[in-house]
Chain A
Amino acid sequence: MAGVRVLVGTRKGAFILTSDAKREHWNISGPQFTGWEIYHFKGSPVDPNRLYASQSSGWFGQIIQRSDDGGKTWHQPGTPPGEPTKTPEGMPKGESNKFVYDTSPETGKPLTTHQWYDGTPHPWEFKRVWHLEPSLTDPDTVYAGIEDAALFRSTDGGKTWQELSGLRGHGSGPHWQPGAGGMCLHTILLDPSNQKRIFTAISAAGAFRTDDGGKTWQPINRGLHSLYIPNPTAEVGHCVHRIAMNRARPNVLFMQKHWDVMRSDNAGDSWQEISGDLPTDFGFVIDVHAHEPETVYVVPIKSDAEHFPLDGKLRVYRSRTGGNEWEPLTKGLPQNDCYVNVLRDAMAVDSLDKCGVYFGTTGGQVYASADAGDSWTPIVRDLPAVVSVEVQTLP
């Protein structure tokens, strides 16, 4: 029987929430990786039992975890304990948490600095993996968006990672600056119709696209207008919070920018604002209905200084017109004294009919709607702060 598996990353571990297709009764398992931050946690579209998780800690750095049985058991995909860490030839074996920027002469891009908050040069320093995006065709291939912003790829199930350095090597790299949350590559969208096309987004550099599998990249920020940077329409420097697409229509992208909700109908070549009648257009998450490509969801947040819902009312806004006209969805959501945030990776949709929508809050609630947003129920109320929510629709 069909069902869903919701993968929840929190500040203190990972949780898996499962239900049948009715999505009324939930089984909650976890926490896994207790005490560690799980920035992101996602399954392979090819093999739903293959899960990847980004586990990190300010003390002990980055760990990559992998499950091959749908989250029942986990392992670090590098060298197992007790086995030699070097091959007989003396070469180091896979180290799944080793993310080293490409500075090789072959790529010709020995980038050494980006800009710090004050505009001074700052060395690139690996901090953590913000987002893991498994390939649409190969369970052993997975992309990682990291801080300081760069894109890495593993083709051996997470054992080793290599930078796609053409992104950082784009001429604008030395001018990128961090957003308030750090200089993170947080969004990776793979085009289901074109294996060589990938979209990424970086705070606060903007959105980028490759059409050749990651060798070369171009900024796709035309039409963005950001009042907080010296040139509001600059080619790079925009604080993009999240981009979403409907897989059936990959040329249409929806963006939640720092302020402004945006739309592109030409794969990011140009954008127009679709904030329309939203009460505030600051926010982090954005997602698209699985079957209705003009139905879009956002969670407006009061402002960049006050990261909580306007008037203490937690409201998802839905547009059925591809933007501009928005309706508040409130049934089942707290409508007073609610001061949580919904972080950029913490919303997802399933592909059941009706489409399920899920989001998690910094207050530890995970809300689910089994009717495309018309009504909501908390699956859980008291988890640690939720950083990411993904959902798998299981056969």
Chain B
Amino acid sequence: MIRVTLPPHLRKLAHVEGEVLLNVPGPVTQRSVLDALEESYPMLRGTIRDHVTQKRRAFVRFFACAEDLSHESPDSPLPDAVVNGNEPYMIVGAIAGG
């Protein structure tokens, strides 16, 4: 299972506490994880990626294994530690302003 952490605003919207566990079929990439997340929690559609372009929203960042993956290709494989569930895939609201 893939572990995903959501920022507090989105946890509240999805009515979840703590991490989300996802079964991701096929290659585990950022795109496939986000597709699986939105399939399980359709209320999150449009809050992380634009509905139409599927681009990451400007103030949302993606991290895993202490690496910023926000600018990586959405179709690149995620690290093994995420695939085998040792590390979470983190969706983070960027800190902006003071």
Contact = CB atoms under 8 A, between A and B. Distances in A.
Interface in B37-80: 38-43, 45-48, 51-52, 57, 59-60
A81 B43 contact: yes
In the complex, the 8 A-B pairs of residues with the closest C-beta atoms, listed nearest first: A60-B47, A79-B42, A59-B59, A59-B93, A97-B46, A98-B51, A76-B43, A85-B42
B42 A60 contact: no
Contacts of A85: 38-39, 42, 45
- In terms of DSSP, what is the predominant structure of the interface of chain A? loop
A60 B93 contact: yes
Contact of B15 (A60, A61, A63, A81): A81
B9 A60 contact: yes
B8 interface: yes
B94 A81 contact: no
B60 to A, nearest CB: 6
Interface of A: 34-36, 57-63, 76, 78-85, 93, 95, 97-98, 100
B22 to A, nearest CB: 13
Contact of B43 (A34, A59, A78): A78
Task: Identify which of B46, B48, B57 gathers the most chain A CB atoms within 10 Å of its CB.
Answer: B46
Contact of B45 (A36, A83, A97): A97
B9 A95 contact: no
Contact of B94 (A36, A59, A76, A78): A59
A83 B42 contact: yes
B52 A61 contact: no
A57 B43 contact: no
B24 interface: no
A224 B90 CA distance: 52
Contacts of B59: 58-59
A139 to B, nearest CB: 22
B83 interface: no
B51 A95 contact: yes
B13 interface: yes
A85 B46 CA distance: 13
Contacts of B12: 34-35
Contact of B57 (A59, A81, A84): A59
A80 B39 CA distance: 10
B36 to A, nearest CB: 11
B8 A95 contact: no
Given A59-B59, A59-B93, A97-B45, A81 B51 contact: no
Task: Identify which of A76, A81, A98, A100 gathers the most chain B CB atoms within 10 Å of its CB.
Answer: A81
Given A60-B60, A95-B42, A98-B45, A35 B8 contact: yes
A35 B12 CA distance: 10
Task: Identify which of A58, A59, A63, A79 gathers the most chain B CB atoms within 10 Å of its CB.
Answer: A59
Contacts of A59: 7, 9, 57, 59-60, 93-94
A60 B42 CA distance: 14
Nearest to B16: A81
A63 B13 contact: yes
Nearest to A55: B13
Contact of A95 (B7, B10, B46): B46
